[in-house]
Amino acid sequence: MTAVPPSARARRPRRDDPSLAAVAATELARLRRGFPAWFTVGLPFALVLPLGVIAVASPEGQAGQVWSTWFRVVVMFWGVLLPMAAALYASMAVRQDESARAVLYGYAVPRHRYLVGRFAALTVLGLAQAVLLLALLAPIGVALEGPHTVGPTALAVLVPWASASASVALCVLVAEVWGFAPAVCVGVAGMMFGALLADKSVWWAVPMGWPMTVVVPLAGIRANGVPLPPGDPLADTGVIPLAVALSLASTAVLLAIGARHVNRKEL
């Protein structure tokens, strides 16, 4: 019998020590079925199609401003609904995994890897949702106004998704610690307070309002649906990199808190 060299044994993947990428891929594969998959596909269509009819029938649409009205309304609701979407993703992921979580936590694998892997999978799902929304909305802008609308549309869809990272991390943490219902409540509260405070001076204190905060200058519309007048200070795009940076930093802090919790949690 030929002995296996130590270097070959070292290269073999350890079956009881899955990488973070493997955990995230497994979580993503599990979430491709059921509510998360339907929600990923359904929300972009629910935003673009009905709001398009409203935009065409609105006084602004009748006056020839179909694209600007359609674009602003869709992006406004996108920014408002992202915190609730994060809560639904996180709560359903934890609920589907509830029976197996205790078993998984019993393995000799760092438990925080499951938490971070779940966050990564939900982030990818959210990105898929954003890309689908962009794929639906961008051709409409090209057809109605021209190719120059693609860039602003991409920014108005993808930047709010990036600034919603903290919302996903917060909802994953709440769902892990307290369960399904509290995570949904956090999403509802975040959606309401985010819409109310996203264009106020205290926007930085409301993480779940950051998606709407970046929508305001990107789409030129307030959270209540009123377009910004020319020269409005809220049209300043300087708030965008600050909101995204705050979101990414808060994500790291929230995941660190969640990792500490799951690692110290008694089975």
Give the closest residue to 198 by CA, choosing from 90, 73, 86, 76: 76
Q: How much is the pLDDT for 96?
A: 66
8 is a domain residue: no
Q: How much is the pLDDT for 95?
A: 72
Per-residue pLDDT of the chain (267 residues; tens, 9 = 90+): 455 555 555 455 455 667 778 878 888 888 887 888 899 999 999 999 999 999 988 888 888 889 999 999 999 999 999 999 999 999 888 776 655 555 555 555 677 778 898 899 999 999 999 999 999 999 999 999 999 999 999 999 999 999 999 999 999 999 988 888 999 999 999 899 888 888 888 999 999 999 999 999 999 998 888 888 888 888 999 999 999 999 999 999 999 999 888 877 665
Three-state DSSP state, 221: strand
Q: How much is the pLDDT for 2?
A: 52
Q: How much is the pLDDT for 243?
A: 95
5 is a domain residue: no
Q: How much is the pLDDT for 6?
A: 54
Contact in structure between 209 and 164 (CB atoms under 8 Å): no
- The whole model's pTM is what? 0.87
114 is a domain residue: yes
Q: Between vectors from CA 78 to CA 136 and to CA 138, what angle results, nearest 5°?
A: 25
Which domain range does residue 24 map to? Answer: 19-264
245 is a domain residue: yes
2 is a domain residue: no
> What string of DSSP letters covers 16-55?
TS--HHHHHHHHHHHHTSSHHHHHHHHHHHHHHHHHHHHH
60 is a domain residue: yes
Q: How many domains does the chain have?
A: 1
Three-state DSSP state, 164: coil
Q: How far apart are CA 208 and CA 244, in angstroms?
A: 12
Q: How far apart are CA 119 and CA 201, in angstroms?
A: 30
